[in-house]
Structure 1
Amino acid sequence: MRGDTEWGSIPGLVRYASERYADAEAVVEGRTRITYAELGARVERSTAACMADGVRPGDRVAIWAPNTLDWIVAALGAVSAGAVLVPLNTRFKGAEASDVLRRSGARTLFVTGTFLGTSYVASLRRAMAAGGGLDALRVVVLADDAPADFRTWKDFLAEGEGVGQARVRRRWESVAGEWPSDLVYTSGTTGRPKGAVITHAQTLRAYEVWSDLAGLGTGDRYLIVNPFFHTFGYKAGVIACLTRGATMIPQPVFNVDTVLANLAAERVSVLPGPPTLLQSLLDHPARGAHDLSALRLVVTGAAVVPLRLVERLRDELRVATVLTAYGLSEASGIVTMCRRGDDPAVIAATSGRAIPGTEVRVDAPAPGEPGEVLVRGFNVMRGYWQDAAATAGTLTPDGWLRTGDVGVLDAAGNLRVTDRIKDMFIVGGFNAYPAEIEQLLGLHPDVADVAVVGVPDARLGEVGRAYVVRRAGAPLTGEDLMAWARREMANYKVPRSVEFVAELPRNASGKVVKGGLRGTPATG
């Protein structure tokens, strides 16, 4: 196992890949095609710019942008300078992004210009103008134009031209495996974002394991549709490809027509993604017009995987390897994974077995019964960033991570996740946290009380339903509230239905009893 020994750190991996796979195609983005040697040179230039800008080891550097070559170069450049990467969800609105920027203490932000019709720069400027401790934030726009007080990516890179390669290499070599490499913010039952601290060594070891179990190899061509702001996209995508010299083909938005076109034109062999992506691909009426014969590896998870889906991938698309996995940010994004050769029923019904170097157990009354899933091993986070209380509530004194998920282990050690203690639900592959959504909805002037639950949805797996107590005399309708929510929060968080109630059912301690709400038809 090379991960945290031979490479030592992420810049060590970048240097290894740029030398070991120098002439292999590293990234394809439209007409732009660069080799691993060229990618290494671009990352060196990005690191030099970070150094010229004053980025020091341990500084937090955030990135708020879709899957692109510039994302890869900016992120790897910052991490190679010793910074701690803080990826921001591209679905965030300005207030949501500024909250994470403030909590993390980010000193630099790489931001896209416009994405999906939204000006991220304008959104950020509004959030900064509203205050909130972002006055010292240094902003770099990953585009050719930027407001006068922000810098373009081109100008930022030019600032590093006076930093020689020798200085950059010394900085790369100084980065230690035990240093934090990234801070991925997630939400718990309180709704307050918490940043899971993961190190270079943990990242390298985890995705060397992932690459080995998946069978990722040199010459593979990997379409990365999973967003880079998520561990699945960045680490099971970019980091995994660096370990093997696979070609990265980043796709900024999930669009099934674009996926099909990329799969055929680029002879894609590897396509990880949520079941919704794979289902859309299989059901597309024009699928037969595209040559998908190069596709050999699919890795999925994040939701229940129908056995029929696994069978169709194998039978209709002739995908040789279909695997399921389970992970969470607090465990470096990977806890269990199926193995090549597992029976399709095992792959569909479970998330596989604990990865090497880790332990998984279920805190249940008896074997085979459901209970909270606990994880211990090299992959478990160092803790939550500047949140000792939350860390103590999640990590036990003897090193077990309490996942908040309910699951069952079979006799072979395969894990089946059955529920979520934290009430989280998954909307098209994105984790949605009711407490966070409830806090945002509670800001509406006509909302007196609110509870959010996940309900089944044929297309997205689950969506939110809000149970709302109106303020006395308020004329608020469900359509009014959903329209307001679409302006105030990421789209996947917006409830798809609203039920108005006189009061919310609560237990003796005052907590909403959500089990009594599920299944109630939505009105209003």
Structure 2
Amino acid sequence: MRGDMEWGTVPGLVRSAAERYADVEAVVEGRTRITYADLGARVERAAAACIASGVGTGDRVGIWAPNSLDWIVAALGAVSAGGVLVPLNTRFKGTEAADVLRRSGARLLFVTGTFLGTSYVASLRRAAGEGDGRGPLPGLPSLRDVVVLSEDAPVAFRTWKDFLAAGEGVGTGDVTARSAEVDGTCLSDIIFTSGTTGRPKGAMITHAQTLRAYEIWAELAGLRTGDRYLIVNPFFHTFGYKAGVIACLMRGATMIPQPVFDVATVLANIAAERVSVLPGPPTLHQSLLDHPARDAHDLSALRLVVTGAAVVPLLLVERLRGELGVETVLTAYGLSEASGIVTMCRRGDDPTVIASTSGRAIPGTEVRVDAPPGEPGEVLVRGFNVMRGYFEDPAATVQTLTADGWLRTGDVGVLDPAGNLRITDRLKDMFIVGGFNAYPAEIEQLLGLHPEVADVAVIGVPDGRLGEVGKAFVVRRAGAVLTADDLIAWARREMANYKVPRTVEFVAELPRNASGKVVKGELRGWG
């Protein structure tokens, strides 16, 4: 049955999971282990506290914190109280977070105390500045309440414990009645894009879209009760929250949130918790495969990997299957403006299809490429998954959504005769070499085949004769002695001349945002 028809809303899904999987382990965080019944009770308590704090149906609720049990409970509690979730990128500085909170008109904010050595509260206080607001941050007038997910909080802020205690006067019937005010057409969240350039824009997604999309994702991936799912993808990103938390609620899988991507910790968690499901960007799986301590850990429970990006190295799928024995490796493509999922491979697809494409359109959607058959062009998407628009930004919405419902993704891709989509690049990253269109992702994929290349990114740089030429930033594999001349000579044998980078710069690592995307703008600053 379609997810939106089975559960109606996200609070409906939470209640169903608490009943259906009552005794199944829901979340593992360090020594804390809770069942789905426990999770349902915690979410109800958080929803009661949200109601007590004045959150009304449709009010925006921000959350600025790393992956954790508290994130799951706070977020689901806010949505169960009728709130619209606004997750904030943990890589944001205070100024960026304040901008999203101001533009979204968030009434309530959940924020971590200190993360990676940074006091998020202090950072936000500095950025918010002075103003006429009556809440704890006068520079953010809509924000009436800030809850610190910690045991301590500054004056005028509340601790998580105090926040929950304030909701004890709100009964189960009140929470149920509030949840009933929400239907599938209501907004469940506003996901501010994690774009590598430009100001984030808030993609508005409904409860029905979320449930329908991630029931499809869970079915295509083969997620099942008893799976143990290590969620490294950040919850502030559509994929971490929805292909993670929401999908696990649907299937009764166990969530193991990991706040920071650290390969040694991932290996230890997989072994200790018998992790069976590990979605993530290709860099996560590549670093797992290449870690010197890999063979010291029992990774035999791992059975399902879902990955996706503009570039999925062709060898990665074979290595995951051959070296780790992973039964199912799938690739997918999505973006926040399309509920995070557009295309996906199917179990049983030929390995070459999985390695070289992002699969076919999910049911209920259409994908086309704005170019002649077999040629690269902008990818357009239409269907139930397309956002309702950008929050309070009609100009950007009109630029992105056509009158007949097509979403302009800004991605460049090619469709094969079977409908499989291969993403070749971002439209804005393409550069032109002597009249030829050069797509960095395609060049990166080819360079990534070199045995001494661990990671690579390509940008276009000005050239007096050809207009633009490619420059490659390369991370060597451990112990490699590859030179720029070696790699350029190799590239001339492997690709058309206009694609060959004219210069190569070796770096220790590539700059990536928290979603795993290479920040090309930063590379241009280096170049």
Report the equivalent of 2:486. none
Instruction: Give the 3 Å change call, closer, same or farther, for CA 491–239 of structure 1 in structure 2.
Output: closer
404, 409, 426: which one pairs with 1:403? 409
What is the DSSP-based 3-state SS (H/G/I as helix, E as strand, rest coil) of the residue aligned with 2:61? Answer: strand
Report the equivalent of 2:365. 358
Q: CA deviation at 1:106?
A: 0.7
Report the equivalent of 2:507. none
283, 307, 311: which one pairs with 1:304? 311
Q: Is the 8 A contact 2:389 2:397 kept in 1?
A: yes
* 1:255 partner amino acid: D
Q: CA deviation at 1:372?
A: 0.7
What is the DSSP-based 3-state SS (H/G/I as helix, E as strand, rest coil) of the residue aligned with 2:522? Answer: coil
Deviations 1:161-186 (CA, angstroms, capped at 9, x unpaired): 00011111111222111000000112
Instruction: Give the 3 Å change call, closer, same or farther, for CA 190–295 of structure 1 in structure 2.
Output: closer
**Residue 388 (structure 1) aligned with residue 394 (structure 2):** yes
Question: How many angstroms apart in 2 are the aligned matches of 1:122 and 1:459?
Answer: 38
What is the DSSP-based 3-state SS (H/G/I as helix, E as strand, rest coil) of the residue aligned with 1:495? Answer: helix
Q: Is the 8 A contact 2:310 2:425 kept in 1?
A: no
Report the equivalent of 1:341. 348
Q: Is the 8 A contact 1:189 1:423 kept in 2?
A: no
Q: CA deviation at 1:459?
A: 7.7
Instruction: Give the 3 Å change call, closer, same or farther, for CA 124–459 of structure 1 in structure 2.
Output: farther
167, 176, 180: which one pairs with 1:160? 167
Question: How many angstroms apart in 2 are the aligned matches of 1:352 and 1:233?
Answer: 20
Question: How many angstroms apart in 1 are the aligned matches of 2:32 and 2:195?
Answer: 40
What is the DSSP-based 3-state SS (H/G/I as helix, E as strand, rest coil) of the residue aligned with 2:249? Answer: helix
Question: How many angstroms apart in 1 are the aligned matches of 2:517 and 2:276?
Answer: 31
What is the DSSP-based 3-state SS (H/G/I as helix, E as strand, rest coil) of the residue aligned with 2:203? Answer: strand
Report the equivalent of 1:179. 186
What is the DSSP-based 3-state SS (H/G/I as helix, E as strand, rest coil) of the residue aligned with 1:239? Answer: helix
- Give the stretch that moved more between structures: 276-285 or 126-135: 126-135
* 1:458 partner amino acid: V
Q: CA deviation at 1:408?
A: 0.3
What is the DSSP-based 3-state SS (H/G/I as helix, E as strand, rest coil) of the residue aligned with 2:331? Answer: strand
Q: CA deviation at 1:495?
A: 2.6
Instruction: Give the 3 Å change call, closer, same or farther, for CA 94–419 of structure 1 in structure 2.
Output: same
Equivalent positions of 1:356-505 (< 5 A) are 356-364=363-371, 366-423=372-429, 456-458=473-475, 495=522, 498=525
What is the DSSP-based 3-state SS (H/G/I as helix, E as strand, rest coil) of the residue aligned with 2:329? Answer: strand
Deviations 1:197-246 (CA, angstroms, capped at 9, x unpaired): 00000000000000000000000000000000001100000000000000
Equivalent positions of 1:216-295 (< 5 A) are 216-295=223-302
Listed as ranges, the gaps of 5+ residues in structure 2 are 132-137, 431-439, 445-456, 460-469, 478-510
Question: How many angstroms apart in 2 are the aligned matches of 1:246 and 1:209?
Answer: 16
Q: Is the 8 A contact 2:277 2:302 kept in 1?
A: yes
Q: Is the 8 A contact 2:310 2:424 kept in 1?
A: no
Report the equivalent of 1:111. 111
Instruction: Give the 3 Å change call, closer, same or farther, for CA 99–343 of structure 1 in structure 2.
Output: same
What is the DSSP-based 3-state SS (H/G/I as helix, E as strand, rest coil) of the residue aligned with 2:4? Answer: coil
Question: How many angstroms apart in 2 are the aligned matches of 1:369 and 1:292?
Answer: 41
Instruction: Give the 3 Å change call, closer, same or farther, for CA 387–148 of structure 1 in structure 2.
Output: same
Listed as ranges, the gaps of 5+ residues in structure 1 are 435-452, 461-484, 500-521
Q: Is the 8 A contact 1:274 1:303 kept in 2?
A: no
Q: CA deviation at 1:19?
A: 0.1
Report the equivalent of 2:153. 146
Report the equivalent of 1:97. 97
Q: CA deviation at 1:188?
A: 6.6
Instruction: Give the 3 Å change call, closer, same or farther, for CA 97–239 of structure 1 in structure 2.
Output: same
Instruction: Give the 3 Å change call, closer, same or farther, for CA 130–311 of structure 1 in structure 2.
Output: farther
Q: Is the 8 A contact 2:17 2:36 kept in 1?
A: yes
Q: Is the 8 A contact 1:110 1:141 kept in 2?
A: yes
Report the equivalent of 1:64. 64
Question: How many angstroms apart in 2 are the aligned matches of 1:454 and 1:176?
Answer: 50
* 2:171 partner amino acid: G
Q: CA deviation at 1:133?
A: 4.2
* 2:34 partner amino acid: I
Report the equivalent of 1:77. 77
Q: Is the 8 A contact 1:128 1:135 kept in 2?
A: no
Report the equivalent of 1:12. 12
Instruction: Give the 3 Å change call, closer, same or farther, for CA 286–410 of structure 1 in structure 2.
Output: same
What is the DSSP-based 3-state SS (H/G/I as helix, E as strand, rest coil) of the residue aligned with 2:324? Answer: coil
Q: Is the 8 A contact 1:3 1:208 kept in 2?
A: yes
Question: How many angstroms apart in 1 are the aligned matches of 2:338 and 2:248?
Answer: 20
Q: CA deviation at 1:254?
A: 0.2
Question: How many angstroms apart in 2 are the aligned matches of 1:316 and 1:325?
Answer: 22
Deviations 1:461-489 (CA, angstroms, capped at 9, x unpaired): xxxxxxxxxxxxxxxxxxxxxxxx99xxx
Q: CA deviation at 1:130?
A: 5.6
Q: TM-score normalised to the size of structure 2? A: 0.82
Deviations 1:315-362 (CA, angstroms, capped at 9, x unpaired): 110000000000000000000000101111111110000001100000
What is the DSSP-based 3-state SS (H/G/I as helix, E as strand, rest coil) of the residue aligned with 2:3? Answer: coil
Q: CA deviation at 1:379?
A: 0.3
Q: CA deviation at 1:125?
A: 1.0
Q: CA deviation at 1:135?
A: 3.7
Q: Is the 8 A contact 2:129 2:139 kept in 1?
A: no
What is the DSSP-based 3-state SS (H/G/I as helix, E as strand, rest coil) of the residue aligned with 1:63? Answer: strand
Report the equivalent of 1:87. 87
Question: How many angstroms apart in 2 are the aligned matches of 1:32 and 1:359?
Answer: 43
Instruction: Give the 3 Å change call, closer, same or farther, for CA 57–322 of structure 1 in structure 2.
Output: same
**Residue 33 (structure 1) aligned with residue 39 (structure 2):** no
Question: How many angstroms apart in 1 are the aligned matches of 2:399 and 2:280?
Answer: 31
Q: Is the 8 A contact 2:307 2:332 kept in 1?
A: yes
Deviations 1:279-307 (CA, angstroms, capped at 9, x unpaired): 11001111111111100000001231112
Q: Is the 8 A contact 2:332 2:341 kept in 1?
A: yes
Instruction: Give the 3 Å change call, closer, same or farther, for CA 316–112 of structure 1 in structure 2.
Output: same
Instruction: Give the 3 Å change call, closer, same or farther, for CA 190–33 of structure 1 in structure 2.
Output: closer
Report the equivalent of 1:47. 47
Q: Is the 8 A contact 2:130 2:139 kept in 1?
A: no
Q: Percent identity?
A: 79
Question: How many angstroms apart in 2 are the aligned matches of 1:280 and 1:140?
Answer: 36
Instruction: Give the 3 Å change call, closer, same or farther, for CA 345–130 of structure 1 in structure 2.
Output: farther
**Residue 200 (structure 1) aligned with residue 200 (structure 2):** no
Q: Is the 8 A contact 2:229 2:254 kept in 1?
A: yes
Q: CA deviation at 1:491?
A: 12
Aligned pairs, number: 449
Question: How many angstroms apart in 2 are the aligned matches of 1:23 and 1:280?
Answer: 35
Q: Is the 8 A contact 1:307 1:344 kept in 2?
A: no
